[in-house]
C-alpha cells in the first residue's frame, strides 16, 4: 500500500546520480583526467577491472534518462557536475564544451518540469590537482571556490538548488585513509587534514555561489547511527570515537562552528578562522543514509561490510562488528529502517535551532534483481515509513532523493552492485524500469493525490 505515504504539499521527490558513475565519455568534450580515471587504470583497484569509461553513457543518452525521470514523476534530479569537464586541470578558464553539456541537461530537465539540484563535487578530482597535493593541500580550497564561481555565473539563473560536496567522510576515509577509493592513499589518521580542507572548500564554495547569485545551498553528508557492540566501557568508548570520526567530525564544524573535542589540534590552521568560513549558514543540510554500524574495541573480529569489504589495518582503537539480527542488501549492509529515524532525531536533538531544513539526498539499496525487485520495494517502503515517522516526530525534512535512478558504476565494486530503479544492460545500454520504479512512481502519485485532497 502506498496511499498512506503522504509527506505534505511542499515535499520534494527526486533521484540522485553522480557524474563518474553514469556519464562515460571520459575523453569527450574536452574533459580532463580525473583521479578515478587514474585509479581505475591501476591493476587490482576495481573489481573485474571495471571502469567508468562508458558507464551508463549518460553523456549521450541524457535525453532518454530525463524522459525516464519525467515518467517517474519526480520533481527534483540530483546529479553532479564533473569538475574535470568544467576545468580539465582544476583551474583556469572553463571548458566551453563541458559547460554546454550541462546546459543541455539542465534545459532538458526544466522542459520536463524537473528541478535540477547539482552537486559540485562527487569525488572526481581533476588529476593535476591531485598531483599537486589534492585534498591534503590547502590550495585546493581556493581552486574549489573558483570552480564554484564559474558554475554560479553560468547556471544560477536556472538552478534553484545547489549542493557543494558529496560525503566528505568517504573521501577522507576511503580515499586517503584506507586507500580503497581514489586516490588510493593509506594515511590512516594522517588523512584528517583532508576532512578539514573539504569542509573549508565547502564553506568557500557556499560563499562563492551566493556571490554569483545562487541560492538554496547545502551539502550532502553521509550519516548513520554508531551502535556500541556491547555495554562494556571499552566498546562504548570505541564506538564514541568512531561516531565522532564518521559523523560529527563532518557535521559539527558546519552546524556548530566547532570540531568534536580533541580534533582541533589535528587540523591544519588557522583552525578558528577556517571554522568561521566552514560554518557559513546553509539553506538546508543534506543527509545521505544507508546503514548503521556496530562498533567495539579492537579485538581482531572486524566485520568488513561497514567498509565495503576493506579490512581495517591493525592498531586502530575500534573495529566494526557484525550486526546480527538484520536482513542485508547484496552489498552486505544491514537493513534497519529504525536507524534512519534514529539519525534524523539525533540531528534534531544535537543541533536544535542551528539545524536548517533537511533533505535526504541519498538513500537506497543494492539488490541484483534485474526487473522484479520486490526486495528493493520492501526496503524503500520500510525506510519511507521510518522517514514519515521522523517527520511526524518533528524533524523538518523537506524532500527525499532515492539512490539511484540507474544501475551504475559502483566505485571499487565496479558493476557488481545494482542500486537503480532502472536496470541497465551495460553491454547494450538498454534501460528497463524495474518493479521498484513503478512502485516509487505510485508513491509519488498517491502522495500528491492525498495532498491535493488534504
Query: Residues annotated in the binding site for substrate, as ranges?
Result: 21, 122, 166, 290, 403, 410-411
In terms of C-beta density within 10 A (0-12 exposed, 13-18 middle, 19 or more buried), how is residue 387 classed? buried
CA distance linking residue 2 with residue 378, whole number of Å: 12
Task: Output DSSP code: residue 405.
Answer: S
Counting Cα atoms < 13 Å in the Cβ hemisphere of 40 gives 24
Query: Where are the extended beta strands (E) located within 215-343?
Result: 217-222, 226-228, 285-288, 293-296, 319-321
Strands 226-228 and 285-288: unpaired
Instruction: Check if 167 is active-site.
Output: yes
Catalytic hit among 23, 95, 319, 362: 362
Instruction: Check if 23 is active-site.
Output: no
Annotated binding residues, as ranges? Answer: 21, 122, 166, 290, 403, 410-411
CA distance linking residue 205 with residue 148, whole number of Å: 6
Helix (H, G, I), strand (E, B) or coil at 422: strand
Cα dist from 62 to 101, 107, 120, 371, 413, whole Å = 10, 11, 18, 21, 24
R_g over Cα of the chain: 21
Nearest of 203, 208, 359 to residue 281 by alpha carbon: 203
Q: How far apart are the first and last CA of the chain?
A: 19
Q: What angle do CA 99, 95, 134 make, to 5 degrees?
A: 105
CA distance linking residue 402 with residue 174, whole number of Å: 23
The count of other CB atoms within 10 Å of the CB of residue 345 is 16
CA distance linking residue 108 with residue 443, whole number of Å: 24
Q: Are 62 and 108 in contact (CB under 8 A)?
A: yes
Q: What angle do CA 209, 213, 216 make, to 5 degrees?
A: 65
Catalytic hit among 23, 95, 130, 167: 167
- Catalytic residues, by residue number, are 167, 362
Amino acid at each position: 500500500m502506498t496511499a498512506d505515504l503522504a509527506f505534505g504539499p511542499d515535499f520534494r521527490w527526486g533521484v540522485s546520480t553522480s557524474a563518474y558513475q553514469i556519464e562515460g565519455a571520459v575523453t569527450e568534450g574536452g574533459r580532463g583526467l580525473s583521479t578515478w580515471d587514474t585509479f581505475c587504470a591501476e591493476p587490482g583497484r576495481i573489481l573485474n577491472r571495471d571502469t567508468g569509461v562508458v558507464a551508463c553513457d549518460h553523456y549521450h543518452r541524457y535525453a532518454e534518462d530525463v524522459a525516464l525521470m519525467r515518467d517517474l514523476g519526480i520533481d527534483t534530479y540530483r546529479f553532479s557536475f564533473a569538475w574535470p569537464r568544467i576545468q580539465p586541470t582544476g583551474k583556469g578558464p572553463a571548458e566551453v564544451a563541458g559547460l554546454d553539456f550541462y546546459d543541455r541537461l539542465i534545459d532538458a530537465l526544466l522542459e520536463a518540469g524537473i528541478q535540477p539540484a547539482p552537486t559540485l563535487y562527487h569525488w572526481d578530482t581533476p588529476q593535476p590537482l591531485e598531483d599537486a597535493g589534492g585534498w591534503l593541500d590547502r590550495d585546493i580550497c581556493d581552486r574549489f571556490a573558483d570552480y564554484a564561481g564559474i558554475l554560479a555565473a553560468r547556471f544560477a539563473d536556472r538552478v534553484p538548488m545547489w549542493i557543494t560536496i558529496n560525503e566528505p567522510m568517504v573521501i577522507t576515509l576511503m580515499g586517503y585513509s584506507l586507500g580503497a577509493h581514489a586516490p588510493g592513499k593509506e594515511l590512516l589518521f594522517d588523512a584528517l587534514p583532508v576532512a578539514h580542507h573539504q569542509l573549508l572548500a565547502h564553506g568557500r564554495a557556499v560563499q562563492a555561489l551566493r556571490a554569483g547569485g545562487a541560492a538554496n545551498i547545502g551539502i550532502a553528508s553521509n550519516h548513520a547511527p554508531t551502535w556500541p557492540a556491547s555495554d562494556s566501557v571499552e566498546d562504548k568508548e570505541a564506538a564514541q570515537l568512531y561516531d565522532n570520526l564518521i559523523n560529527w567530525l563532518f557535521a559539527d564544524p558546519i552546524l556548530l562552528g566547532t570540531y568534536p573535542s580533541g580534533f582541533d589540534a589535528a587540523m591544519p590552521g588557522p583552525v578558528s578562522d577556517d571554522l568561521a568560513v566552514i560554518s557559513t549558514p546553509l539553506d538546508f543540510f543534506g543527509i545521505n543514509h544507508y546503514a548503521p554500524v556496530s562498533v567495539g574495541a579492537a579485538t581482531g573480529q572486524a566485520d568488513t561490510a561497514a567498509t565495503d569489504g576493506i579490512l581495517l589495518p591493525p592498531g586502530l582503537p575500534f573495529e566494526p562488528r557484525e550486526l546480527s539480527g538484520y536482513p542485508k542488501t547484496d552489498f552486505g549492509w544491514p537493513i534497519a529502517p529504525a536507524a534512519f529515524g534514529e539519525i534524523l532525531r539525533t540531528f534534531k536533538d544535537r543541533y536544535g535551532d542551528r539545524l536548517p531544513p533537511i533533505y535526504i539526498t541519498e538513500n537506497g539499496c543494492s539488490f541484483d534483481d534485474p526487473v522484479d525487485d520486490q526486495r528493493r520495494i520492501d526496503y524503500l517502503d520500510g525506510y519511507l515509513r521510518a522517514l514519515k515517522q521522523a517527520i511526524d516526530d518533528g524533524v523538518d525534512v523537506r524532500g527525499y532523493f532515492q539512490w539511484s535512478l540507474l544501475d551504475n558504476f559502483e566505485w571499487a565494486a565496479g558493476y557488481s552492485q545494482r542500486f537503480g530503479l532502472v536496470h541497465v544492460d551495460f553491454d547494450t545500454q538498454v534501460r528497463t524500469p524495474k518493479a521498484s520504479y513503478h512502485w516509487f512512481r505510485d508513491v509519488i502519485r498517491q502522495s500528491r493525490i492525498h495532498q491535493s485532497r488534504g
